[in-house]
């Protein structure tokens, strides 16, 4: 795409040694590159997301957000006078494939840093790879609390953990929904199980009884059996950890079976796709999310406008995650003043990024804080924010 016309980084030091005239030429060349912005070699950032398989839809949303951020950065002159280029690989949410993708990005594409992966298990698998090659790794999605506790200095997480969401919103949920007996349903993977566990603990601490806990596999389409069991259980609330596809079908079938429960949960629910798929059944559903397109900050208004212009739909939580991750990484490279991995890592630790959903800073362990979490209720086909909280620095 961006063919380097004059590779001064290699040519200049040798030329400098020869003559004063060459020094002049060299300075002129640097000046030229600074002006004719994209003559220089691009800064490559590797992005690993699931683009096929059961969570491909969500991975694609992340990639869309990331591409929008790159376009915005390059339009504003790039980073260090060089354009940013994304190298995107499909990790399929699978640890083995994600490791292959990371190795390829590092060895063949020579990326400066890595962003990804989507599923916590896949991210956990590439954390040692990042450490081995000494290259910064930033995730905008993986929410399993353990990841930042592994003591990997190259890993940063610009996302909420299940624990944060659960502890932040449990009191509000218990109060608004008047929960007494809650049933839990989660998708059968690390994220679903983590979400169910954390919410169960947080709600139980608030005096809410657990009626039942069930898991289903990704791509399951019929929940009648599960819901039939629930109907007989006498629960007054239902917690669900599921993504758009499974979640929308589940919510529809809850209505079909006439279950009279308050439904709340985590996942990409506060999106127009979810609301379109679930139809009237989406009304009254509560979701705890780190981002929703109806947030009222100036940064978000601008983000939603440019995203909608590019993709004809407002962004969801994964689009925002992709966008934020690229912005944080690009700003760190700019602050580092070079693409040297150690300097970028040090600069990442100093992050102070104003996102559409609040501020992002990192703890010494690499966990982000300072951004907002929202509890939204879907009403009249729009996700309305009913409670907003800011993630404080964990102690």
Partner 1 sequence: MDLLLQFLVNGVVIGVFYALSALGLTLIFGLMRVVNFAHGDFYMLGGVLGWFVTERLGLDFFSGLAIVAVVMAAFGWVIDRVLIERVRDQGEEAGILLTIGLSIVIANVALLAVGTAPLKVASPVSEAPLLLGPVVLTRGRVVALVIAALLVVASHLLIRRTTLGRAMRATFQDPMAARLAGIRTERVYASTFALGTTLAALSGMLLGSIYSAQVSIGGTVSLKAFVVVILGGMGSFPGAIAGGLLLGVVEALWGGYISTNLVDLVGFLLVIVLLLFRPYGLFSLRAERA
Residue 308 binding partner 1, by CB under 8 A: no
Residue placing its CB nearer to partner 1 in the complex, 56 or 71: 56
Q: Rule CB under 8 A: which of 40-79 touch partner 1?
A: 51-54, 56-57, 59-60
Residue 382 CB contacts under 8 Å (≥ 6 apart), including other chains: 275, 294
Are β-strands 358-362 and 368-379 bridged in parallel, bridged antiparallel, or unpaired? antiparallel
Shortest distance (Å) from residue 185 CB to partner 1? 9
Interface residue with partner 1, options 6, 133, 215, 369 (CB under 8 A): 215
Q: Residue 16: count other Cβ atoms within 10 Å of its Cβ.
A: 14
Cα separation of 312 and 154, whole Å?
Answer: 36
Cα separation of 361 and 350, whole Å?
Answer: 7
Part of the chain binding partner 1 (CB under 8 A), chosen from 138-146, 176-184, 217-225, 353-361: 217-225
What track of x and - describes contact with partner 1 for positions 188 through 207 (by CB under 8 A)? x-------------------
Kindly tell me the number of DSSP H helices and DSSP E strands found in the chain.
13, 14
Residue 276 binding partner 1, by CB under 8 A: yes
Residue placing its CB nearer to partner 1 in the complex, 221 or 299: 221
Residue 314 CB contacts under 8 Å (≥ 6 apart), including other chains: 271, 272, 293, 304, 307, 308
237 alpha-carbon distance from chain centroid: 28
Part of the chain binding partner 1 (CB under 8 A), chosen from 26-34, 156-164, 247-255, 293-301: 247-255
Asked, as a colleague might, if the bond just before 117 is cis with ω within 30 of 0, I would say yes
Residue placing its CB nearer to partner 1 in the complex, 77 or 219: 219
Interface residue with partner 1, options 168, 248, 319, 372 (CB under 8 A): 248
> Cα dist. 273→214, 265, 340 in Å?
25, 17, 41
Residue 224 binding partner 1, by CB under 8 A: yes
Q: Minimal CA–CA distance to 320: which of 374, 358, 356?
A: 356
Part of the chain binding partner 1 (CB under 8 A), chosen from 164-172, 214-222, 262-270, 290-298: 214-222
Are β-strands 84-90 and 137-139 bridged in parallel, bridged antiparallel, or unpaired? unpaired
Interface residue with partner 1, options 273, 284, 334, 363 (CB under 8 A): 273
Shortest distance (Å) from residue 225 CB to partner 1? 4
Residue 319 binding partner 1, by CB under 8 A: no
Residue placing its CB nearer to partner 1 in the complex, 36 or 279: 279
Part of the chain binding partner 1 (CB under 8 A), chosen from 7-15, 25-33, 115-123, 240-248: 240-248
Cα separation of 84 and 75, whole Å?
Answer: 10
Interface residue with partner 1, options 214, 236, 363, 369 (CB under 8 A): 214
Interface residue with partner 1, options 146, 149, 256, 352 (CB under 8 A): 256
Count of residues interacting with partner 1 (CB under 8 A): 36
Residue 216 binding partner 1, by CB under 8 A: yes
Shortest distance (Å) from residue 276 CB to partner 1? 7
270 alpha-carbon distance from chain centroid: 15
Q: What is the DSSP string of 57-96?
A: HHHHHHHHHHHHHHHHHHHTT-BTTB-EEEEEEE-TT-HH
Residue 245 binding partner 1, by CB under 8 A: yes
Edge-to-edge, what's the strand order for the sheet holding 84-90? Answer: 84-90, 43-49, 113-115, 137-139, 155-157
Residue 249 binding partner 1, by CB under 8 A: yes
Residue placing its CB nearer to partner 1 in the complex, 88 or 170: 88
Shortest distance (Å) from residue 226 CB to partner 1? 5
CA dihedral for 91, 94, 98, 101, sign (positive or negative):
negative
Q: Phi first, then psi: give them for residue 140, nearest 5 degrees.
A: -110, 0
Contact 83, 42 (CB under 8 A): yes
Residue placing its CB nearer to partner 1 in the complex, 35 or 312: 312
Cα separation of 314 and 307, whole Å?
Answer: 6
Residue 24 binding partner 1, by CB under 8 A: no
By the criterion CB under 8 A, which residues form the site for partner 1? Answer: 51-54, 56-57, 59-60, 188, 214-217, 219-222, 224-226, 228-229, 232, 244-245, 248-249, 252, 255-258, 273, 276-277, 279
């Amino acid at each position: 795409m961006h063919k380097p016309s004059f590779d001064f980084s290699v040519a200049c030091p040798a030329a400098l040694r020869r003559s004063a005239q060459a020094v002049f030429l060299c300075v002129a060349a640097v000046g030229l590159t600074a002006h004719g912005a994209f003559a220089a070699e691009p800064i490559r950032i590797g992005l690993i997301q699931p683009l096929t398989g059961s969570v491909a839809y969500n991975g694609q949303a992340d990639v869309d957000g990331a591409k929008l951020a790159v376009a915005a950065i390059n339009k504003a002159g790039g980073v260090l006078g060089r354009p940013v280029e994304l190298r995107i690989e499909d990790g399929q949410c699978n640890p083995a494939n994600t490791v292959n993708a990371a190795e390829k990005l590092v060895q063949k594409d020579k990326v400066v840093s890595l962003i990804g992966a989507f599923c916590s298990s896949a991210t956990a698998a590439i954390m040692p790879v990042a450490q081995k090659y000494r290259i910064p790794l930033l995730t905008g999605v993986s929410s399993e609390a353990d990841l930042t506790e592994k003591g990997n200095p190259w890993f940063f997480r610009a996302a909420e953990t299940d624990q944060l969401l659960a502890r932040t919103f449990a009191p509000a949920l218990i109060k608004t929904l008047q929960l007494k007996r809650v049933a839990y349903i989660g998708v059968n993977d690390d994220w679903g199980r983590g979400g169910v566990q954390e919410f169960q603990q947080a709600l139980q601490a608030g005096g809410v009884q657990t009626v039942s806990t069930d898991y289903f596999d990704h791509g399951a389409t019929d929940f009648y059996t599960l819901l039939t069991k629930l109907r007989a259980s006498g629960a007054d609330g239902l917690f669900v950890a599921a993504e758009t596809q499974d979640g929308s079908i589940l919510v529809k079938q809850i209505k079909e079976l006439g279950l009279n429960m308050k439904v709340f949960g985590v996942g990409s629910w506060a999106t127009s796709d979810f609301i379109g798929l679930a139809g009237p059944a989406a009304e009254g559903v509560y979701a705890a999310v780190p981002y929703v397109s109806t947030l009222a900050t100036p940064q978000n208004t601008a983000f939603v406008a440019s995203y909608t212009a590019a993709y004809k739909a407002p962004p969801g939580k994964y689009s925002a995650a992709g966008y934020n991750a690229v912005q944080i990484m690009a700003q760190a490279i700019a602050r580092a003043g070079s693409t040297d991995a150690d300097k970028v890592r040090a600069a990442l630790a100093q992050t102070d990024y104003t996102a559409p959903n609040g501020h992002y800073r990192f703890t010494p362990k690499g966990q982000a804080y300072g951004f907002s979490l929202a509890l939204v209720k879907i009403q009249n086909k729009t996700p309305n924010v009913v409670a907003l909280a800011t993630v404080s620095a964990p102690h």
